[in-house]
Structure 1
Amino acid sequence: MHVLFLVQGEGRGHLTQALSMQQILKTAGHDVIGAIVGVTPQREVPAFFREAFSAPITPVFSPGLVYNAGTNALEPTKTTLQAIRSIRPFWKSLKQVRDIIETKRPDVVINFYEMLGGLTYALLKPSVPMICIAHQYLAFHPNFQCPKGQWMYRQAFKINTLLTCFGAKELLALSFDKQPDFPQRRVRVVPPLLRQEVASLKPMDGNFVLAYVTQPGLRSELERAHQERPDLKMDAFHASATSPDQVIDETLTYHAIDGKRFLNYMSRCKAIVTTAGFESVCEAAYLGKPALMIPQPNHFEQACNAIDGQRVGVGLGATHFNLDQFMTYLPQHDPSVSERFRAWQQQGYFMFLSALNRATAPGDQRSGGFLMPRLRQLLR
C-alpha cells in the first residue's frame, strides 16, 4: 500500500505522530511515498522531522496560529484575521495539494490535523480516500470533557477541527484511554502514536524536574517559578535556548530543543512540566513520569488536554507554574496509570492498520455531506 501524509507543521505533536505512523507502516511492509507539511514564512519544516522522515517532503503554505509575544496567550481574533488575509495564497495551496495527490496517486492519504487536507477534499474533491488522525477529534465524542463556559473558544475549536476533516472516511481520535467508538460522526477511538524511540527507553528515577516549553513568552513564568523554588533542580528545553546546555545557575539549565536529548532527559527525570500538549503528556505517561500540564492562555485545545489528562491520572492540570502544588501532588501519583497506558498504547499497531484497510476497501468514497449541514451537526 502506498500512503501519502498531510501534516500540520505547527508545534511538535502532529509531526511526531507522523513519524510514529511511518514506523508502523514500514514495519507492516507499506510504503510512505511523501509528506505535505503546512508551513508559514516564519515556520519552516523543523529539522527533527526533515532528518527522521525518509520520504520526500513538500512544504506548502498554511496559515498558522498567532500568539501574544508578551503574555504567550493564543490570540484567536488575530489568528482569524491572518487567515482571512491569506485567502489567495491558501487557495493556491489547496490546488497544489490536490495536484500532488492526483499526481502521486497513493492508495490512501493520512491527514494529521492539517486544514489543507479537509478543505482540499471539501472543495476540490481528490479521488483518493483520506483518513484523519489527531487527539482533537475527541471533540466530536459525547464523552469529551472541556472547560466550563468559554462558549466562543469551544465553537472556534470545533470549527477549526471540522475544517481539517471534511471528506475523511474515518476520524481516528487519539485518546489517553480506551473509550467506545462513535460511528454516528465517523469517530474511532485509538491509542496515542508514540515513536519506537520512546518504547525503547528504560525509565529511571531522577532528582530533577524536566520542563518543556515551545513559546518564548513562557520563559518568564519558568524563571519566576525557579526563583520561588531555587532548591528544586530543573532542566528546561526551551525554544529560545541558544546552546545544548545553557547553565543559568546551580539548579537551572536551559537546553535547545532536541528531540532525542529531550526523551533521554524525560526517561531520567522525576516529573515533567509542560504546556499540556498531547504528545509530550503521552510520552511522560508511557515512561511513568507525572506531568504538570499548564495550558497556554486562550488555548482551548490545551485546556481540554489538561482536563482529560487529569481525568485519567497522568498528572495535574494547572493555570501556571505552581511547583509547590506539583511537589505536593507527586506522592499521590498512582504508578499503575502508566501500566494501563502502556497496555492501551500497545493495541494501536493493529487498530491503525485496520483503519487503512477499511479506507481502501471498495465502497462509498463520497465526502460525507455538504459543509453547512455537517457544521450544524458537529456544533450541537
Structure 2
Amino acid sequence: MRVLFLVQGEGRGHLTQALSLEQILRTAGHEVIGAIVGVTSERDVPAFFSEKFAAPITPIFSPGLVYNAGTNELEPFKTTVQAIRYARPFWNSLKQVHAIIESQRPDVVVNFYEMLGGLTYALLRPSVPMVCIAHQYFAFHSNFQRPKRQWFYRQAFKINTRLTCFGAQELLALSFDKQPDEPSQRIRVVPPLLRQEITDLKPIDGNFLLAYVTQPGLKVELLKAHQQHPDIQMDAFHSGVNVPDDVIDATLTYHAIDGKRFLNFMSRCKAIVTTAGFESVCEAAYLGKPALMIPQPNHFEQACNAIDGQRAGVGVAADGFDLDQLLTYLPQHDPTVSVRFREWYAQGYFLFLAALNRATMPKRKPSDGFFRTRVRHLLRS
C-alpha cells in the first residue's frame, strides 16, 4: 500500500501522530511516499518532524490559527478574518494538493486535520480515497461531552472540523478509551497515536509535580500555588527560561523547553499540570501520571479534552493552576486507568491498518452537502 500524508503543521500534536502512523505502516511493510504539511510565512515545517520523517516533505501554505500574543488566548474572529484575507493563495494551495495527489497516485491519502485536505476533496474531487485522523472527530460522537455555554466557540470548532474532512471515507476519532463506532457518522473510534519515545520510557513513582507552562497567566498562578504549598516540590518547563535549570528556591525549579528532558521528567514525576492538549494528556496517561488539565482560554477543543479526560479517569479538569484541586484528586486516582489505557493503545496497530485497507476497497464516495457552492465561491473570489 502506498500512502500519502496531509498534516496540519500547527503545534506538535498532528505532526507527532503522523510520525507514529508512519512507523506503524513501515513496520507492516507499507510505503509512506510523502507528506504535505500546511505552513504559513511565520511557521515552517518543525525540525523535529523533518528530521524524523523518512519520506519527502512538501510544505504548502495553509492559514493558521491566531492567538493573542499577550494571553495566548485563541481568537476565532481574527482567525476567520485571516482565512478570508488569504482566500486566493489558499485556492492555489488546493490546486497544488490536487496536482500532487493525482501525479503521485497513492492508494490512500491520510489527512491529519489539515483543512487543505477537506477542501481539496470538496471542491476538486481527487480520485484517491482519503481517511481523516484526529481526536477532534470524536466531537461528532454521541458520547462526547461538551462544555456548557461557549456557543460561538462550539460552532466555530464544528465548522473548522467539518472543513477538514469533506469526502473522507472514514473519520478515525482518537479517543482516551474504547467507545462504539458510529458508521452513520463515518466515525471509527481508535486509540491515540503516541511517540515511540513515550512507549520506550520506564515510568517510576516520583515525589514532585511537573508543570508545562505556555501561558503568561499560568506562570503567575504557578507562583501563587507555590507560595501556598512551599513544601511541595515542583519542576516547571516554560518558554520564558533561557537556561536548562533556573532554581528559584529549594522546592521550585524552572527549566527551558526541551522535549527530551520533559519526557524524562514526566516519567519520574508524581503528577503533571498541563494545558488540555490531547497528546500531552495521553502521554501522561500512558506513563501512569495523573493530570491537572487546564484548557487555554477560549479554546473550545481543549475545554472538551479536559471534560473527556476527566470522564476517562486520566485526571481532573480545572479552570486554573489549582493545586488544592489536584492534591484532593490524587488519592482518588485509579492506577488501573493507565493499565486499561495501555491495553487500548496496543490495539491501534491493527485498527489503523484495517481502516486504511477498508479505504482502498471500491465503494461509493460519501456526499458532503455542506455549503460546497458557497465555499467554492469564497475561495475563487
TM range (shorter): over 0.9
* RMSD, matched Cα: 1.9
In the alignment, is the contact (CA less than 8 A) between 2:71 and 2:215 conserved in 1?
no
- Mapped to 2, the partners of 1:146 and 1:131 lie a distance apart of 25
Structure 2 partner of 1:308: 308
8 A Cα contact 1:70 1:217, kept in partner = no
Q: Using the alignment, how far apart are the partners of 1:74 and 1:227 within structure 2?
A: 29
Counterpart residue number, 1:59 = 59
TM-score with structure 1 setting the length: 0.93
Which residue in the other structure is 1:109 paired with? 109
The letter of the residue matching 1:107 is: D
Structure 2 match to 1:15: 15
Distance 1:256 1:3 in 2: 37
1:33 aligns with 2:33: yes
Task: Give matches, 1:324-343, under 5 Å.
Answer: 324-343=324-343
Higher alpha-carbon deviation: 243-252 or 173-182: 243-252
Is the contact between residue 72 and residue 218 of structure 1 (CA under 8 Å) also seen in structure 2? no
Counting only pairs closer than 5 Å after superposition, residues 254-333 of structure 1 correspond to structure 2 as 254-333=254-333
CA 1:225/1:68 → structure 2, altered by over 3 Å: closer, same or farther? farther
Q: CA deviation at 1:371?
A: 2.3
2:94 is the alignment partner of 1:94: yes
Moved more, 57-66 or 125-134: 57-66
Taking the aligned partners of 2:48 and 2:257, their CA distance within structure 1 comes to 9
Cα 1:110–1:25 shift into 2, 3 Å: same
Distance 2:145 2:330 in 1: 24
| Partners of 1:112 and 1:132 within 8 A in 2 | yes
Counterpart for residue 137 of structure 2 = 137
Cα distance between partner residues in 2 of 1:355 and 1:125 = 21
Query: 2: CA distance between counterparts of 1:252 and 1:46?
Result: 30
| CA separation of 1:229 and 1:86: change in aligned 2, threshold 3 A | farther
Matched-pair contact (CA < 8 Å) for 2:71–2:216: no
CA contact (8 A) 1:181 1:188 kept: yes
What residue in structure 2 maps to residue 369 of structure 1?
Answer: 368
Q: Which residue of 1 aligns with 2:378?
A: none
After TM superposition, give the deviation of residue 217 of structure 1 in Å: 5.5
State the shift of 1:191 in Å. 0.8
d(CA) in 2 for partners of 1:127 and 1:105? 9
After superposition, the C-alpha distances for 1:64-88 in whole angstroms (9 at most, x for unaligned) are 1112222222111111111111111
CA offset at residue 117 of structure 1? 0.7
Could you report, residue by residue, the CA deviation over 1:231-270 in whole angstroms, capped at 9, with x for unpaired residues? 3222223234324334444333333333322221111111
Q: Residue 82 of structure 1 aligns with which residue?
A: 82
- SS of residue paired to 1:306: helix
Separation in 1, partners of 2:188, 2:117: 19
SS at match of 1:18: helix
* 1:212–1:237 Cα contact (<8 Å) kept: yes
Instruction: Assess if the C-alpha contact under 8 Å between 1:134 and 1:173 holds in 2.
Output: yes
Hey, what's the Cα distance between the residues in 1 that align with 2:293 and 2:237? 15
Q: Distance in 1 between matches of 2:372 and 2:32?
A: 34
Tell me the equivalent position of 1:160: 160
Provide the C-alpha distance between the structure 1 equivalents of 2:121 and 2:91, rounded to a whole number of angstroms: 13
Write the deviation string for residues 303-351 of structure 1: whole angstroms up to 9, x where unpaired: 0000000001100100000112211211111101111111111111100
CA deviation map 1:260-291 (0-9, x unaligned) = 22221111111111100000101111110000
Moved more, 159-168 or 65-74: 65-74
Matching of residue 239 in structure 1 with residue 247 in structure 2: no
Going from structure 1 to structure 2, the CA distance change for 1:68 and 1:341 (only over 3 Å counts) comes to same
Which residue of the partner structure matches residue 204 of structure 1?
204
Structure 1 residue runs without a partner (length 5+): 376-380
The structure-2 alpha-carbon separation of the partners of 1:64 and 1:221, relative to structure 1 and needing over 3 Å to count, comes to farther
Deviation at 1:216, TM superposition (A): 5.3
Output one character per residue of 1:14-42: Cα deviation in whole Å (capped at 9) or x when no partner: 11111110111111011111111111222
TM-score normalised over the length of structure 2: 0.93
**Does the 8 A contact of 1:209 with 1:234 survive in 2?**
yes
Tell me which residue corresponds to 1:378. none
**Are the counterparts in 2 of residues 225 and 321 from structure 1 also a CA contact under 8 Å?**
yes
Aligned length: 374
Distance 1:184 1:112, change over 3 A: same
Q: 1:243 to 1:86 in 2, by over 3 A?
A: farther
Is the 1:178–1:190 contact (alpha carbons within 8 Å) kept by the matching residues of 2? yes
Residues 47, 220 of structure 1: alpha-carbon distance in 2 compared, 3 angstrom cutoff: farther
**Cα gap change, 1:163 to 1:334, in 2 (>3 Å):** same
Letter in 2 for 1:73: E
Runs (5+) with no aligned partner, structure 2: 375-381
**Is the alpha carbon distance of 1:123 and 1:256 closer, same or farther for their aligned partners in structure 2, counting shifts above 3 Å?**
farther
Q: Secondary structure of the equivalent of 2:371?
A: helix
* Deviates further, 11-20 or 301-310: 11-20
Compute the displacement of 1:213 (Å): 3.4
How many Å separate the matches in 1 of 2:113 and 2:213?
A: 21
Tell me the SS of whatever aligns to 2:43. coil
Q: Equivalent residue of 2:65, what SS?
A: coil
Compared with structure 1, are the counterparts of its residues 121 and 68 closer, same or farther at alpha carbon in structure 2 (3 Å cutoff)?
same
Distance 1:257 1:52, change over 3 A: farther
Q: Match of 2:379? A: none
SS of the counterpart of 1:371?
A: coil
Q: SS at the partner of 1:166?
A: coil
8 Å contact from structure 1 (residues 216, 238) kept in 2: no
Q: Describe the SS at the equivalent of 1:370.
A: coil
Call closer, same or farther: CA 1:87–1:170 in 2, change over 3 Å: same
